[in-house]
Structure 1
Amino acid sequence: MNFNHYFTNDELTAILSGWAAYYPSLVVLSSLGKSHEGREIPLLTLTNQATGPDTDKPAIWIDANIHATEVAGTTTALHIAHTLLSGYGTDSRCTRLLDTCAVYLAPRLNPDGAELALAALPKYIRSGTRPYPFDDKADGLHAEDMDGDGRILQMRIPDPNGDWKVSGLDPKLMEKRGPDEQEGSFYRLFEEGRIENYDGVQVREARPRQGLDFNRNFPFEWQPENEQTGAGPYPTSEVEIRAVVDFISRHPNINIAITYHTFSGVILRPFSTRPDDKMDVNDLWVYELMGERGKEITGYKCISVYHGFRYHPNEVTTGAFDDWAYDHLGIFAFTIELWDLPGRAGIADRDFIPWFRKHPHEDDVKILRWLEANAPADALVGWYAYNHPQLGPLELGGLNRMYTFRNPPHALMGEEAEKNTPYALALADMLPRLTLRELTATPLGDRRYRLRLVVENSGFLATNTSGQGQKRNAARPVRVELTLAAGAALLTGQWRTELGHLQGRSNKLDVTAHYGSSPTDNRAWTEWVVQGQPGDEIGVALLSDRAGNIRTSVTL
Structure 2
Amino acid sequence: MNQKIKAALVGFAFCGATSLATAQRDYQSYDQLTARLQKLSSKYSKLSTLTTVGKTATGKEIWLLTLGRDNAVNKPAIVIAAGVEGTQLATTELAVQMAEQMLQAAVLQDSVRELLQSKTFYIFPNLMPDASEQYHEKLRWERSANAQPIDDDRDGRMFEDPFEDLNKDGLITMMRVKNPTGLYRPAKEDPRIMVKADVSKGEKGEYLLYTEGIDNDRDGKWNEDPEGGVVFNRNFTFDYPYFQEGAGEHPISERETKAFADFMYDARNVYAVFVLGPANTLSQPLAYDKGKASKRIINGLLEKDAAVNDQISKLYNNTTQLKNAPKAAPSSGDVLQWAYFHYGRFSYSTPGWWTPKVSAPKDTVNGKAAVAPSEHEDVNFIRWAEANEVVGAFVDWKRFKHPDFPDQEVEIGGFAPYVRQTPPVRLLAPVAQKHFEFFSAYAKWMPSLQIVNITSEKVAGGLTRITADVLNQGSLPTHSEIGDKSRWVQKVKVTLKLENDQKLVSGNKIQLSNALGAGEKFQVTWLVNGKGYVTVEASSPTAGSQSKGVNLR
2:47–2:103 CA contact under 8 A, matched in 1 = yes
- Amino acid corresponding to residue 383 of structure 1 in structure 2: W
From the superposition, tell whether residues 12 and 540 of structure 1 become closer, same or farther in structure 2 (CA, over 3 Å).
Answer: farther
> How big is the shift at 1:14?
1.0
For residues 17-32 of structure 1, what are the structure 2 equivalents within 5 Å? 17-32=38-53
Aligned CA RMSD, in angstroms, stands at 4.4
2:449 to 406, 414, 434: 434
**Partner SS for 1:381:** strand
From the superposition, tell whether residues 248 and 495 of structure 1 become closer, same or farther in structure 2 (CA, over 3 Å).
Answer: farther
Tell me what 2:61 maps to: 40
CA distance in 2, matches of 1:426, 1:276: 31
- Amino acid corresponding to residue 236 of structure 1 in structure 2: I
- 1:503-532 deviations in whole A, cap 9, x for unaligned? 6554xxxxxxxxxxx6x5167677867646
2:357 to 344, 348, 354: 344
Tell me what 1:56 maps to: 74
- 1:369-422 deviations in whole A, cap 9, x for unaligned? 33221241422232346677987996443222511x223244423343333332
Structure 1 position 283 matched with structure 2 position 295: no
Structure 1 position 191 matched with structure 2 position 211: yes
- Amino acid corresponding to residue 319 of structure 1 in structure 2: G
2:501 to 482, 489, 502: 489
Tell me what 1:356 maps to: none
From the superposition, tell whether residues 362 and 259 of structure 1 become closer, same or farther in structure 2 (CA, over 3 Å).
Answer: closer
CA distance in 1, matches of 2:157, 2:284: 35
1:461 to 473, 476, 484: 476
2:164–2:212 CA contact under 8 A, matched in 1 = yes
CA distance in 2, matches of 1:28, 1:177: 52
> How big is the shift at 1:460?
2.6
From the superposition, tell whether residues 91 and 361 of structure 1 become closer, same or farther in structure 2 (CA, over 3 Å).
Answer: closer
CA distance in 1, matches of 2:254, 2:73: 26
> How big is the shift at 1:58?
0.7
1:398 to 414, 418, 424: 414
**Partner SS for 2:51:** strand
Structure 1 position 479 matched with structure 2 position 494: yes
- Amino acid corresponding to residue 42 of structure 2 in structure 1: A
* Structure 1 or 2: more strand by fraction: 1
2:449–2:470 CA contact under 8 A, matched in 1 = yes
Q: Is 247-256 or 142-151 further displaced after alignment?
A: 142-151
1:143 to 160, 163, 166: 163
1:66–1:261 CA contact under 8 A, matched in 2 = yes
2:543 to 539, 542, 547: 547
How much identity, in percent, do the aligned residues show? Answer: 26
> How big is the shift at 1:361?
7.7
1:439–1:452 CA contact under 8 A, matched in 2 = yes
> How big is the shift at 1:475?
0.8
From the superposition, tell whether residues 20 and 163 of structure 1 become closer, same or farther in structure 2 (CA, over 3 Å).
Answer: closer
> How big is the shift at 1:119?
2.6
TM-score (norm 1): 0.75
> How big is the shift at 1:275?
6.0
Structure 1 position 327 matched with structure 2 position 350: no
Structure 1 position 498 matched with structure 2 position 516: no
CA distance in 1, matches of 2:303, 2:197: 47
TM-score (norm 2): 0.75
CA distance in 1, matches of 2:272, 2:339: 9
> How big is the shift at 1:285?
1.0
Instruction: Structure 1 unaligned segments of length 5 or more: list them.
Output: 311-315, 348-358, 507-517
> How big is the shift at 1:290?
1.3
2:469–2:521 CA contact under 8 A, matched in 1 = no
**Partner SS for 2:544:** coil
1:257 to 250, 253, 273: 273
CA distance in 2, matches of 1:419, 1:145: 39
> How big is the shift at 1:61?
0.8
- 1:213-258 deviations in whole A, cap 9, x for unaligned? 3222212243421xx4432222211111111111111111111101
CA distance in 2, matches of 1:163, 1:280: 40
**Partner SS for 1:127:** coil
- 1:170-205 deviations in whole A, cap 9, x for unaligned? 45444667979xxx9965543223442459xx5635
> How big is the shift at 1:54?
1.8
From the superposition, tell whether residues 301 and 328 of structure 1 become closer, same or farther in structure 2 (CA, over 3 Å).
Answer: farther
Tell me what 2:298 maps to: none
Aligned residues: 499
From the superposition, tell whether residues 165 and 231 of structure 1 become closer, same or farther in structure 2 (CA, over 3 Å).
Answer: closer
Tell me what 2:174 maps to: 154
Tell me what 1:351 maps to: none
> How big is the shift at 1:145?
4.3
> How big is the shift at 1:67?
1.6
**Partner SS for 2:445:** coil
Tell me what 1:521 maps to: 521
Tell me what 1:318 maps to: 332
CA distance in 2, matches of 1:264, 1:149: 34
From the superposition, tell whether residues 363 and 138 of structure 1 become closer, same or farther in structure 2 (CA, over 3 Å).
Answer: closer
1:101 to 109, 119, 139: 119
- Amino acid corresponding to residue 190 of structure 1 in structure 2: Y
Structure 1 position 127 matched with structure 2 position 145: yes
CA distance in 2, matches of 1:338, 1:267: 10
1:155–1:394 CA contact under 8 A, matched in 2 = yes
- Amino acid corresponding to residue 423 of structure 1 in structure 2: F
- Amino acid corresponding to residue 358 of structure 2 in structure 1: A
From the superposition, tell whether residues 69 and 475 of structure 1 become closer, same or farther in structure 2 (CA, over 3 Å).
Answer: same
From the superposition, tell whether residues 324 and 198 of structure 1 become closer, same or farther in structure 2 (CA, over 3 Å).
Answer: closer
**Partner SS for 1:85:** helix
From the superposition, tell whether residues 248 and 269 of structure 1 become closer, same or farther in structure 2 (CA, over 3 Å).
Answer: farther
> How big is the shift at 1:108?
0.7
Q: Is 434-443 or 5-14 further displaced after alignment?
A: 434-443
**Partner SS for 2:253:** coil
- Amino acid corresponding to residue 251 of structure 1 in structure 2: A
From the superposition, tell whether residues 233 and 95 of structure 1 become closer, same or farther in structure 2 (CA, over 3 Å).
Answer: same
> How big is the shift at 1:121?
2.8
> How big is the shift at 1:367?
3.9
Q: Is 151-160 or 283-292 further displaced after alignment?
A: 151-160
> How big is the shift at 1:161?
6.7
**Partner SS for 1:340:** coil
**Partner SS for 1:429:** helix
**Partner SS for 1:421:** helix
- Amino acid corresponding to residue 40 of structure 1 in structure 2: E
- Amino acid corresponding to residue 470 of structure 1 in structure 2: D
**Partner SS for 1:97:** helix
CA distance in 1, matches of 2:334, 2:193: 35
**Partner SS for 1:256:** strand
From the superposition, tell whether residues 433 and 123 of structure 1 become closer, same or farther in structure 2 (CA, over 3 Å).
Answer: same
From the superposition, tell whether residues 259 and 242 of structure 1 become closer, same or farther in structure 2 (CA, over 3 Å).
Answer: same
From the superposition, tell whether residues 123 and 482 of structure 1 become closer, same or farther in structure 2 (CA, over 3 Å).
Answer: same
